[in-house]
Amino acid sequence: GWNDVYTFTKAMGEQLLVKHRGQVPLAIVRPSVTEGALEDPHPGWIHGLKVTDPLIVAYGRGIVPDFPAAMGAPMDLVPVDIVVNTVLAAATQATTSTVEVFHAATSGENPLPNTRMFQYVKGYFEEHPLLNKDGSRPELVDWTFPTVEQFQRAFNWKYLYPLELKQKLYEYLPERWAPAQKKRRLAALKTRLKRVQYFTDLFSPYTTLDCRYEAKRMLALYESLPPEEQRIFNMDVRRIDWYQYYQKTHLPGLRRHELGGSDDQEPLSAAPSEVGGEEQRWRIEESIRTIPDLLRWACGRYAAKTALQIERQSGWTRISYDELLTRAERVARSWRAQGVSTGERVLLCGDNGPEWVVAYMAASLLGLAVVPISPQMREEDIWRLCDFVQARALIAAEKRFSQLSPEGVAAHKEMAFFNVDRDGLPFGQAPEPDATAQKGRWKRPRVNPDATASIVFTSVIEPRGVVLSHRNLISNVLAQGEVLRIYESDRMLSTLPLHQVLECTGGLLLPLLGGATITYLEAVNSREMLRTLRDTNATMLLTVPRLLRVLADRVERLGAEATTGLAALRRVVSVGAALSDDLVGTYERLGVAICQGYGLSEAASVVAVNTPHQGKARSVGPVLPGQQVQIAEPDERSIGEILVRGANVMEGYFSQEELTQVALKDGWLHTGDLGRLDDNGYLFVEGRSKDLIVNGAGHNVYPREVESLYHDLPHVAELSVVGVPSAHIGSEEVHGIAVLTREAEQAEDLREAIQAHSYEISRTLPSHYRIQHLHFWTRPLPRLDDGTVDRQALLSAIEREDCPGTPLPEWERAIQRQIGLLAGLSTGEVAAHLDAPLDTLLDSLMAVEFAAWLGQRLGTQVDGLLRPQDTLRSVLARLEVHLRDGMDWEVEQSPAYWSSILHAEPSAEPESEAGKNMLQEFLWETGGPLFRRFFDLRAGGLEHLPQDRPYLIAANHASHLDGACVYEAVRSHVDHLNIATSEHYLTDSELRWFLYTFVNAIPFDGHDNFADGLVRARQSVGVRRPLLVFPEGTRSVNGQLQPFKAGVGLLAYELDAPIVPLHIAGTHEALPKGTRTPSRHPLRLLFGLPLETTSFKEHSETLSPYEIYYEIAAALKRQIEALGRKNI
């Protein structure tokens, strides 16, 4: 007797609750068909098309000319806010002895006949039509309310059967009379008709039964409420004016909230996904055929929403969808004015961030073929690629361009050089907002879907550039979107390089298609990943096993609290290398399901992928829609080479006809990977048939290229390279096998010379080209019958060896270990960041301690040698001559470095400030009231200031007025207020005099002399003598909170002092950064409860001191943000 699964499971749920509730109080509310709000949160509010809404919208479009129903039967509809109010009120009636049941319904007390509802709907759409694409009004006919049988018979003969006949005829007609586009449109139309049938079957039980449900118990409950609560919690369905509800509330709300004020939303979109998804992809393909199409499509829908963001030391940089399109068009216009033309090729070299995306989109809008390259790429390889593709321009990050030799730039004077970091301006040119390039109407270049969008080089030494058209990339993105649904509410964390195809499609274009927000990282390591996952509540993560492993290691080390950073993740997709069962199990224990996928650059990235609820263990999932996979020459286990065919498959390799012919045969891409398909279409990857190493980051490494880079190792007769699986990172590492010459076989010092030369070569190479382990052999390499090296035999021999290969020298291991201890990273993560700026690994405090650690071993000061923008590689190269001397690298530095600094005996007693205090008291007693009156200064929460122990006050910082207003607010609660001030403020003589005279400034240097400031702070802080600190380190330009430095956590933790959070409002308006004259504006201060540091001491066994400092800073920032929401 149940008409659908929904009603059946609801009834079963009630039975289970009654049977198993035990002593839990229970009340049941049974709502009828829930529709848009009557009043709360505002009239007409609705989220998603509800039960009758798809039919209403479809009628408004002229799609549903009739519908089966019992004429005059009541439509039992109830506004959602009445349902919510009933639930809240019913909860007060729940008991353990009985079960109270309330019907939230309207048909018994205020019935709405379907004939009357139809009149209201028709009348509304006649007055406010949903126009067709050509601007015409759809025909709205009167419904006759036939029986189900009558409706189906008329529908089939009038619509469905003629269409199916036409489809069959088209199968036999030649292509010129029945093109694919027409066939696709027929298929899409049939899908829509099937949807109508689906909704007919779904809704007919509700529309053909003349039933009424009493709501007397609900109304009695409502009438039992006090009059004031009745006004707040309206449940009186008798007062609903259905004409007013439909004409003035529900239908306008439906159009405003779900149709976005436009007429192009798809009706009946709640039909089965196997129908809706296919049609959606066809519909989008009609409007999105190129990357510019996708960009404009997304920006037209999500204009004001944040598209891209990154947190830098200066704070968050955010770009909305509308701004992304505007900036990209401005850059494209500028480049065209510089002489760059559609179809030309450009190299794009930069770090992940909004600026990279703007440059990429600008190039796509202009119809350029983008060659994205790694910022780690060697200069000689950059110029090699420029020559190979005949690049018209190099678009580079400022830092990378500054590292290129003048000779190389001069040798390519025919090229243009554009600055990624300054919206594509030519290097050396100042911005010209009124330039000719920015004036006039932007005439969009026409970009052909088959034009080259990207040329992605999977190999540089022997250039292997994958040519991908707009059609290739867009078809893959749409297919991914059909399986991996992304929504406007999603937040994606980007962890892979944008120059890789996988990140470009799955990590950039796909989130933009769904309206998500993408967050980039300045440094991709486990510390920053976990922090950003938590801070942004990221819901999506596309990554590789190596990063998943280091993230899991960190979470497990930090314990249960760290799992909060993973709490919002609803989808994690891993590709690039195989996932180990151990890693999958680790994330399952953490409550995160990983969807493993498979792809390659030649297929525009993704070929197959699992979904959270339909995955198979060890499988990479079903093949994406629109692609075909075939297993060539399967063996007895059904394993063979994986072949791929589809619109996503590359055009070929750039200027490499022979390689293209090998990879592409009869339209099939020969992947070189071995696999099998099971009976349900799930793909299993079982290995590789070609010599290729895939590392944990998903990079393709060709052994012959690595061998050529290390070919001149001294005392080596022959060298071969293989990929060796690593159990820990779940991917392959690059191992080299060096066969020694006879003289080196017995000479240990020659082996050391070989190893040293190997290190020197490695430091000049991108990380994925480096030999990670070098094995020394005295026997010949195994070979096949044709004389080539038998790499499989080599791999087997290495895996049997007891020693995994020669490790890094002791001094380099010690340095990586020490940096890892300071930064809370594994040594593997440190090694992976050799080419990253040092300040992405070590903040200023860590750098001071690291310099002290190095200086202790070298016997000299090294402070000036550690510049923030230096890379770890350059530091090692600069100090190597000293570091290689025999010294004891095993001696660890005391973990209490800053504690020892803070509690050291002062070199001199602080000077008496009696005279200064008297002057301050006089000046503030006379000037304080004037200051308070001028700015209407008010402060709340002063009772939270401790009176019996030392403490810190931490506040947001937006103005030079901040210190003065805090001083005036707390004067009666303290004996002395000290203010931590940046050293560079004191270079301004007027400001220096003010800070010293009025507010007891304690200067801090963020780098070399930071320790001196700490000692001064310790000497100054005491009972009723707090220290005011600004954790952001500098004033905010826009008044918004910037990232907090670890120094505030260090001070509080090492001084064992609580921190009183403070939010200051109004100083940014009164005296913003960059102005010297204040204006009159109310100032409001709100102090919060002290943040105690004792709870953080419990983590001292699992967290490094700096991780604790940052945890304290993060907790403090959350408190100040919460205060800011109250301090209005």
Of residues 278 and 427, which shows the higher confidence score?
Answer: 427
* Residue range 1096-1115: mean pLDDT, rounded: 85
Q: Cβ distance 1060 to 1048 under 8 Å? A: no
Domain holding 359: CATH number? 3.40.50.980
Q: What angle is formed at CA 899 by the lines to CA 893 and CA 905, rounded to 5 degrees?
A: 110
Q: How confident is the model at residue 1121 (pLDDT cuts 50, 70, 90)?
A: very high
> 658 in a domain, yes or no?
no
Share of the chain above pLDDT 90, in %: 37
Q: Which of the two residues, 82 and 42, has the higher pLDDT score? A: 82
Q: 826 and 789, same structural domain? A: no
- Select the more confidently predicted residue: 193 or 604: 604
DSSP-based three-state secondary structure for 1046: coil
Residues 6+ apart with CB under 8 A from 888: none
Per-residue confidence (pLDDT) for residue 340, from 0 to 100: 95
97-106, 672-681, 792-801, 1079-1088: least confident range: 792-801
| pLDDT at 267 exceeding the cut of 70 | no
What is the reported pLDDT for 458?
Answer: 85
Kindly state whether residue 120 falls inside one of the protein's structural domains: yes
Q: Which helix (H) or strand (E) holds 402?
A: helix 398-402
Domain membership of residue 869 (yes or no) is: yes
| pLDDT over 90 at 1000, yes or no | no
Mean pLDDT across the chain: 84
Whether the per-residue pLDDT at 996 is higher than 70: the answer is: no
Region 476-489: what's the mean pLDDT?
90
Residues 881 and 961 in one domain: no
Together in a domain, 919 and 1023: yes
Please tell me what DSSP assigns to residue 770: S
| Whether residue 241 is found in the same domain as residue 375 | no
The residue range of the domain holding 872 is: 810-893
Find residue 719's DSSP bridge partners: 738
Mean pLDDT of 201-219: 82
Domain identity same for 242 and 276: no
Angle subtended by helix axes 273-287 and 180-208, to nearest 10? 140
How many domains is the chain partitioned into structurally?
5
Residues 6+ apart with CB under 8 A from 109: 214, 215, 216, 219, 237, 238
| Amino acid 261: pLDDT | 46
pLDDT-based confidence at residue 235 (cuts at 50, 70, 90): very high
Are residue 112 and residue 240 in the same domain, yes or no?
Answer: yes
CATH number at residue 1066: 3.40.1130.10
Per the model's pLDDT, the better-predicted residue between 464 and 370 turns out to be 370
Structure tokens belonging to residue 89: 């009120």
Q: Would you list the DSSP string of 891-937?
A: PPPPTTHHHHHHTSPPSSPPPP-HHHHHHHHHHHHHHHHHHHHHTT-
On whether residue 1103 sits in a domain, the answer given is yes
CA 866 – CA 872 distance, rounded (Å): 9
pLDDT value, residue 276: 46
Task: Compute CA distances 933 → 171, 926, 941, whole Å.
Answer: 85, 12, 20
Domain boundary among 893, 923, 952: 893
pLDDT given at position 275? 40
**What pLDDT digit, counting tens, does each position of 77-96 carry?**
999 999 999 999 999 999 98
Rounded to two decimals, what is the model's pTM?
Answer: 0.67
Nearest to 368 by CA among 470, 500, 443: 470
**Within this chain, do residues 153 and 248 fall inside the same structural domain, yes or no?**
yes
Measured at the alpha carbon of residue 423, what is the angle toward residues 418 and 428, in degrees to the nearest 5?
Answer: 45
Is 314's pLDDT higher than 70? yes
> Above pLDDT 70, what percent of the chain?
86
Q: Is the pLDDT of residue 310 over 60?
A: yes
Tokens 């093949």: give the residue.
623
Cβ neighbours of residue 326 closer than 8 Å, sequence gap 6 or more: none
The answer to whether residues 877 and 992 belong to one domain is: no
- Residue 637 has phi, psi (to 5 degrees) of -95, 10
pLDDT tens sequence across 832-880: 777 677 777 787 788 888 887 877 777 766 655 566 567 777 777 777 7
Identity at 1110, one-letter amino acid code: Y
Separation CA 970–CA 974 (nearest Å): 6
Judge if 864 and 819 occupy the same domain: yes
Cis upstream peptide for 41 (omega within 30°): yes
Residues contacting 160, CB < 8 A, separation 6+ = 190, 193, 197
Residue 542 lies in a domain: no
User: Are 1037 and 958 within one domain?
Assistant: yes
Residue 981's pLDDT is 81
Compute the average pLDDT of residues 752-770: 79
For the cut 90, the answer to whether the pLDDT of residue 538 exceeds it is: yes
Q: What is the mean pLDDT of residues 976-989?
A: 70
Query: Do 942 and 826 lie in a common domain?
Result: no
- pLDDT band of residue 265 (cuts 50, 70, 90) is very low
CA contacts within 13 A on the Cβ side of 1064: 32
Phi and psi of 24, rounded to 5°?
Answer: -80, 125
Domain of 753: which CATH number? 3.30.300.30
**Measured between alpha carbons, how far is 167 from 156 in angstroms, rounded to an integer?**
15
Euclidean distance between CA atoms 1124 and 357, whole angstroms: 33
In degrees, rounded to 5, the angle at the alpha carbon of residue 546 between the alpha carbons of residues 540 and 551 is 60
* The residue count for the chain: 1128
The answer to whether residue 708 is domain-embedded is: yes
Domain presence at residue 227: yes
Do residues 847 and 747 share a domain? no
Assigned domain for 945 exists? yes
Q: How far is CA 752 from CA 716, 747, 748, 774, in A?
A: 12, 9, 7, 11
CB atoms under 10 Å from CB of 413, counted, come to: 8
Domain boundary pick from 740, 769, 800 = 800
Range in 344-353, 638-647, 783-792, 860-869 the model is least confident about = 860-869
Burial call 766-784: b when 16+ CB within 10 Å, e when fewer: bbbbbbbbbbbbeeebeee
Q: Structure tokens of 177? A: 């009379």
Q: Strand order in 452-459's β-sheet?
A: 425-426, 416-419, 393-396, 345-349, 369-373, 452-459, 464-469, 652-653
DSSP annotation of 806:
B
Mean pLDDT of 391-398: 96
Q: Which residues of 179-213 are buried (b: 16+ CB within 10 A; e: fewer)?
A: eeeebeebebebbbbbbbbbbbebbbebbeeeeeb
pLDDT tens for 438-470 read 555 567 899 999 999 999 998 887 888 999 999
Please say which residue of 739, 768, 800 terminates a domain.
800
